[in-house]
């Protein structure tokens, strides 16, 4: 990453808003401040709430809200342009946080038992809107800035989390309930300070194909995380506080690690995903059958890999939005809905498999098959095998040569002229490989074969092959036709 990115952007006051969002998530879902028993959910028909009721209900409502936002993005375009949305998001999230922390004083009499589940639903809906708004804003800033923002926000958020969880619970819950307002205040500041960049396509036709590869990998990672959480519920013993603390440190280490690997090794999206994140998540499952505290350490290792991928996912959204010429909110909604749905399905499935209470076992029937350390070890081994298989398949997939897999998050687009950036977008939209894109850019500048051969250090025959493929994929028959096509198609010609 070029010097000055963190100084010029990430270390602005606005990053406090993104940090507030992360601190809120960790305080609500990764601490004991808000988890409590819920009579209404204990009697719920499916009996799948061996997981924390707050996690299950909030995640379910989060998925539903993300699906609604996805539909809204089809008809409305940029969600950040809906002025009331940040205020509604902050109000819902703050109100939900207050309801789950003070159920006894928010609703009286016979309706008091509704307070906790209603609060869980509101937190899910509000947080869905908040994360989409932040994601959409960061897509306009690009992958490099998204990484910088995410890393700094996670570090600041972890400090805030440690402070909030160390003070008396009543004060901690009140501060946590105010964090959504802090987040949206700084989001609006950021939005006002950003230059408006227009995409070519603001409203998306319903016939537009979803980003299937993004959906598939997000579902897989989300399901892996959900399975780990559901399995750990039955094995956490008295170490839930240690687990939460280790997970926070794993999140911080993951964010630092991804910045270091992206900057030092400049790896592409596929290698970041399949060579680093997935093996780390597989390693977490190896610890799970062991007795505490090793199983707790396993969840932290798994969280390390998951958080690593999560930042990769955020860095990928600007790339898909830019080169697909679609609104960032549309990409963010697909990615977040997929990963959250994966978490929901994975956690409910694993919780059902490990249902420990007699009542839950009766309700889920034969699904409760994990009854011994050996069963847990076998399931963990299967999880490791599947994860590593997906990792090997992903790295060997030919789509990495033509899709977004070969792109590098910290690719210095600012060093390229607007014309070069537009040429690269067109090259990727035509399905050119990385090397073909480089040849395409030189052809667009009027360079001949001899120049291209010398500049890229490849043979003349190789250049001829690349040019032939470029002409075929772009539907032209000569360099001049290609240049004419570029001048007609691109908004930033010479």
Q: pLDDT higher for 190 or 273?
A: 190
Over 233-297, what HEC string results? HCCCCCCHHHHHHHHHHHHHHHHHHHHHHHHHHCCCHHHHHHHHHHHHHHHHHHHCCCCCCHHHH
pLDDT tens, residue by residue, 117-134: 888 999 999 999 999 999
> What one-character DSSP code corresponds to residue 357?
S
Residue 40 has a pLDDT of 46
Is pLDDT of 107 > 70?
A: no
Range with the lowest mean pLDDT among 105-109, 285-289, 384-388? Answer: 105-109
pLDDT tens, residue by residue, 294-310: 777 777 888 888 888 88
264 vs 345: CA distance, rounded Å: 36
> Ramachandran region of residue 35, left (φ > 0), alpha (ψ -120 to 50) or beta?
beta
Give 74: exposed, middle or buried? Use CB within 10 Å, 0-12, 13-18, 19+: middle
The Cβ of residue 169 has, within 10 Å, a number of other Cβ atoms equal to 14
| Nearest residue to 328 via CA among 199, 491, 191 | 199
Q: What is the DSSP string of 181-246?
A: HHHHHHHHHHHHHSPP---S-SSPPTTSPP-HHHHHHHHHHHHHHHHHHHHHHTT-TT-HHHHHHH
Query: In the structure encoding, which two tokens stand for residue 155, read together?
Result: 């570090």
Contact 299, 243 (CB under 8 A): yes
Q: Stretch 229-252: mean pLDDT, rounded?
A: 67
| Nearest residue to 123 via CA among 103, 94, 102, 88 | 94
Q: Stretch 444-455: mean pLDDT, rounded?
A: 87
Is pLDDT of 23 > 90?
A: yes
Residue 5 has a pLDDT of 44
Q: Within 13 Å, how many C-alpha atoms sit on residue 353's CB side? A: 21
454 vs 156: CA distance, rounded Å: 48
Cα dihedral 45, 48, 54, 60, rounded to 10, equals -80
> What one-character DSSP code corresponds to residue 416?
S
Range with the lowest mean pLDDT among 234-238, 356-360, 387-391, 466-470? Answer: 356-360
| Nearest residue to 79 via CA among 87, 88, 70, 90 | 70
- Give every CB contact of residue 267 below 8 A, 6+ residues apart in sequence: 261, 275, 276, 408
The pLDDT-based confidence of 429 (bands split at 50, 70, 90) is: low
Q: Which long-range contacts (CB under 8 A, 24 or more apart) does 423-429 make?
A: 423/486, 423/490, 425/322, 425/323, 425/325, 426/486, 426/489, 426/490, 428/323, 428/404, 429/323, 429/324, 429/325
Question: Is the model's pTM score more than 0.95?
Answer: no
Is pLDDT of 104 > 60?
A: no
Residue 131 has a pLDDT of 95
Contact 83, 188 (CB under 8 A): no
> Could you identify the residue written with the tokens 């790339």?
319
Q: CA separation (Å) from 157 to 102, 172, 249, 257, 323? A: 24, 14, 11, 17, 31
**Average pLDDT, whole number, for the chain?**
76
Which domains, ranges and CATH numbers included, belong to the chain? 5-402 (1.20.1250.20), 416-489 (1.10.10.10)
Query: In the structure encoding, which two tokens stand for residue 431, read together?
Result: 């399905």
Residue 45 has a pLDDT of 40
Q: Stretch 468-476: mean pLDDT, rounded?
A: 88
């Amino acid at each position: 990453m070029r010097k000055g990115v963190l100084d010029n952007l990430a270390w602005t006051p606005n990053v406090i808003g993104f940090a507030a969002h992360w601190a809120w998530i960790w305080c609500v879902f990764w601490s004991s401040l808000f988890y409590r028993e819920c009579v209404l959910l204990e009697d719920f028909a499916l009996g799948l709430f061996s997981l924390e009721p707050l996690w299950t209900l909030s995640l379910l409502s989060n998925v539903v809200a993300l699906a609604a936002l996805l539909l809204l993005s089809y008809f409305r375009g940029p969600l950040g342009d809906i002025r009331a949305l940040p205020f509604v998001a902050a109000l819902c999230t703050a109100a939900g946080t207050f309801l789950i922390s003070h159920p006894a004083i928010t609703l009286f009499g016979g309706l008091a038992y509704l307070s906790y589940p209603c609060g869980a639903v509101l937190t899910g809906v509000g947080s869905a809107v908040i994360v989409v708004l932040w994601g959409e804003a960061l897509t306009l800033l690009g992958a490099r800035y998204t990484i910088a923002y995410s890393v700094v926000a996670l570090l600041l958020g972890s400090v805030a989390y440690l402070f909030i969880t160390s003070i008396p619970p009543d004060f901690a819950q009140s501060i946590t309930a105010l964090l959504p307002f802090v987040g949206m205040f700084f989001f609006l500041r950021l939005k006002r300070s950003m230059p408006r960049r227009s995409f070519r396509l603001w409203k998306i036709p319903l016939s537009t194909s979803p980003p299937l590869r993004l959906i598939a990998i997000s579902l897989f990672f989300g399901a892996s995380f959900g399975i780990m959480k559901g399995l750990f519920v039955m094995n956490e013993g008295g170490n839930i506080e240690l687990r939460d603390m280790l997970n926070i440190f794993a999140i911080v280490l993951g964010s630092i690690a991804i910045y270091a690997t992206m900057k030092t090794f400049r790896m592409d999206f596929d290698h970041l995903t399949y060579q680093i994140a997935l093996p780390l998540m597989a390693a977490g499952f190896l610890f799970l059958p062991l007795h505490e505290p090793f199983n707790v350490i396993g969840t932290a290792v798994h969280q390390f890999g998951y958080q690593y991928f999560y930042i990769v996912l955020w860095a990928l959204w600007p790339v898909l939005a830019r080169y697909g010429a679609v609104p960032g909110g549309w990409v963010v909604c697909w990615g977040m809905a997929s990963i959250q749905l994966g978490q929901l399905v994975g956690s409910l499935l694993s919780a059902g498999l490990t249902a420990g209470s007699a009542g839950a076992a009766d309700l889920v029937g034969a699904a409760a098959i994990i009854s011994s350390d050996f069963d847990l070890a076998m399931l963990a081994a299967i999880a490791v095998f599947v994860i590593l298989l997906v990792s090997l398949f992903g790295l060997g997939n030919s789509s990495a040569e033509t899709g977004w897999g070969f792109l590098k998050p910290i690719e210095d687009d600012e060093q390229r002229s607007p014309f070069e950036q537009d040429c690269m977008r067109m090259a990727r939209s035509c399905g050119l490989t990385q090397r073909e894109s480089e040849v395409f850019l030189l052809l667009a500048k009027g360079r001949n074969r001899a120049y291209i051969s010398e500049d890229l250090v490849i043979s003349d025959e190789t250049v001829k092959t690349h040019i032939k493929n470029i002409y075929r994929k772009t539907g032209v028959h000569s360099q001049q036709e290609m240049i004419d096509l570029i001048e007609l198609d691109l908004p930033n010609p010479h």
